[in-house]
Structure 1
């Protein structure tokens, strides 16, 4: 019997300050998340602001693990995206390979690593989340995450198949004044913008636990992190997400 995926969002000091922090007063809040939505967007894309706003709503609502990946291929339009990275662009092209697409586009929302929709169309994105859950392509492996002074402990439950344990570091919020390009004159607040991605382990269907030292986390850009249990092809292309967890920053004083 497969377990319903459980996400743990923990309040903790900023990851950037973890190494200097004293004893933590972290409050655990458990809840069921219904899917992972990865939005591929750009500050230089005039079609993207509505999708960015929809992702922010998902992040605030809290029932979806929402991540924003800024791609760099629109930078030639006159504005260099301040949050863009080659890694985000490569991840999107990897999904194109997995989903058997010949091209990429923005704003593209990839749901559970299994299918995609226009990120500016919330009805289409929500329908996709519900469809994947109905056909058992939702988040079916339990992933828990907890942080203390020793570091980040990740616990993966039992399940079927093999997958990588991927940590995605993100900023909770970035507000950007855009002065050139298609969105010139706009001030846009982006939520959960990805700053770094790394694979920290492998899973083969048996329960597993690992700990990342606090020193590793403090060296990463971003104020929060998501843990994705994700099938990855031999060529490195990302695929189905089997489970996930998220650690968010919230200074407790």
Structure 2
């Protein structure tokens, strides 16, 4: 199945909401531009956790993920999948598009199957999402080895719009999709059935929607999003993610949170 963020219908819809400008001098000089909450323009990394409320192995990963979600230098996104819903409890946060994204990652990695809890680091590798040393080690190793977040992404806003400034790739030009990921605010769920019966878990940054907003071609570029689009969502992040010739997701080159005003 093709991931939702590659659907042409969403591309057309986002074209109405986003406008891209070459360079960075078109911010509406008459309006005061407010910088987002203090956050690095190049975080340590992006952690995408594939999890399920119906998976008995997932609570330790969910608890660890909560810690990652509260770190300023990590962009942490949780994708609740739907393929464990048959075990007696339907994940209240699951989306079929999340399962599709995980399947596309597995095809990109050449893997034969999906699993939970799975953490994809910077769109490059996957590890057990409950294994702290593997997740932290992968983040540190990639940062040292040039496979971390290398393109700065800065977010600011005016009274009516969010402004995303993607930086320059320098000597290594490359193309990437500008991916907008919407997610829920933290919420506590009591699981009444299935493998985790009786557990009460707080879930962070559960993804609800993924949309491709445009293209980045290795040079500094500006994008704008109506503030109203962000305000009605629980939270939002922007990813600069390369895409293979087969359309599968590739390395994430830049990332930032878009904080709700």
Bucket of the pairwise TM-score, normalised by the shorter protein: 0.7 to 0.9
Match among 137, 140, 159 for residue 150 of structure 2: 140
1:237 counterpart = 2:248: yes
Determine the structure 1 residue equivalent to 2:43: 33
Determine the structure 1 residue equivalent to 2:69: 59
TM-score with structure 2 setting the length: 0.82
Deviating beyond 4 angstroms after TM superposition, the runs of 4 or more aligned structure 1 residues are 23-27
Number of equivalent positions? 226
- Write the distance in 2 (CA, Å) between the matches of 1:64 and 1:153: 20
Matched position secondary structure for 1:176:
strand
1:171 counterpart = 2:180: no
List gaps (5 residues or longer) in structure 1: 1-22
Contact between 1:34 and 1:63, CA under 8 Å: does it hold in 2? yes
Q: CA deviation at 1:25?
A: 8.3
Determine the structure 2 residue equivalent to 1:199: 212
TM-score with structure 1 setting the length: 0.84
Determine the structure 1 residue equivalent to 2:193: 180
Determine the structure 2 residue equivalent to 1:85: 95
Matched position secondary structure for 1:145:
strand
Structure in which a larger fraction of residues adopt strand: 1
Determine the structure 1 residue equivalent to 2:165: 155
Deviations 1:34-81 (A, max 9, x none): 100000000000000000000101112322111110000000111110
Contact between 2:46 and 2:121, CA under 8 Å: does it hold in 1? yes
Contact between 1:172 and 1:248, CA under 8 Å: does it hold in 2? no
Per mean C-alpha deviation after superposition, the further-off stretch among 37-46 and 130-139 is 130-139
Determine the structure 2 residue equivalent to 1:209: 222
1:48 counterpart = 2:58: yes
